[in-house]
Amino acid sequence: MASQSQPTRRILNPSGTNDSIQAQQYTKGELNIDQLHADPIKQFDIWFQHAQDEKVHQPETVTLSTAELPSGRVSARMVYLKEADARGFVIYSNWGTSRKSTDVASNPYAALTFWWHELERQVRVEGPCERMESEESQVYYDTRIRGSRVGAWASQQSKVLRDRAELEGQVADVERKFEGEERIPVPAFWGGLRVKAEMVEFWQGRPSRLHDRFRYTRDGEGGWKIDRLSP
């Protein structure tokens, strides 16, 4: 019986290191516990403002990860953070047909991951989700350009399309429906999802992969406990 050949193992060269197989070293900062605010939401505000000041490209971009039960299959996608306060971190999307909607329906827990390359920083958030009321979602929806508001009605997110023309036909149908109307109501299947933080981690890249990591978790008394984690 002929032996099956094994695929050639390939070690990828990290980018930005002059084609060396050694990974790029993170040297732009350090993080100590005395630099952290006692409240992780306020600490996030500090870091987010710094990212904006330092011209990080679209610092509101975040990976939203969800998992379907009982299969346990995980899915992830890039979305935009639109709000963050003591109640949680908010993104907006389709909750009628999207993969994330079926995941959250079976398993209300989700995770967010921010990566700010220019600062060599990462923020992770974990916790249960809740849908926002239509009235709350309408406030943000009204700030979107008309094309995006129409698109929210037209797109059956994650459904299979025959071709681009089918999508454009759906958009044209919605345009006719709301012709002459400036204020378009938010669709019942679309709106905000709030991730209520139970864990927030702040990560600062350091040389030799010996990164600084601090994790906030609820202390059971209305406050937060901060732990340094091993890299």
Place of tokens 């006692």: 38
CA distance linking residue 177 with residue 169, whole number of Å = 12
Which residue in 186, 187, 195 sits closest to 83, CA to CA?
195
CA distance linking residue 62 with residue 229, whole number of Å = 22
Half-sphere exposure of 79 (CA within 13 A, CB side): 23
Quick count: other Cβ atoms within 10 Å of Cβ 88?
21
CA distance linking residue 193 with residue 191, whole number of Å = 7
- For 191, the 3-state DSSP assignment is strand
CA distance linking residue 12 with residue 16, whole number of Å = 12
Active site residues: 209
Quick count: other Cβ atoms within 10 Å of Cβ 66?
25
Pairing of strands 109-116, 121-131: antiparallel
CA distance linking residue 108 with residue 119, whole number of Å = 31
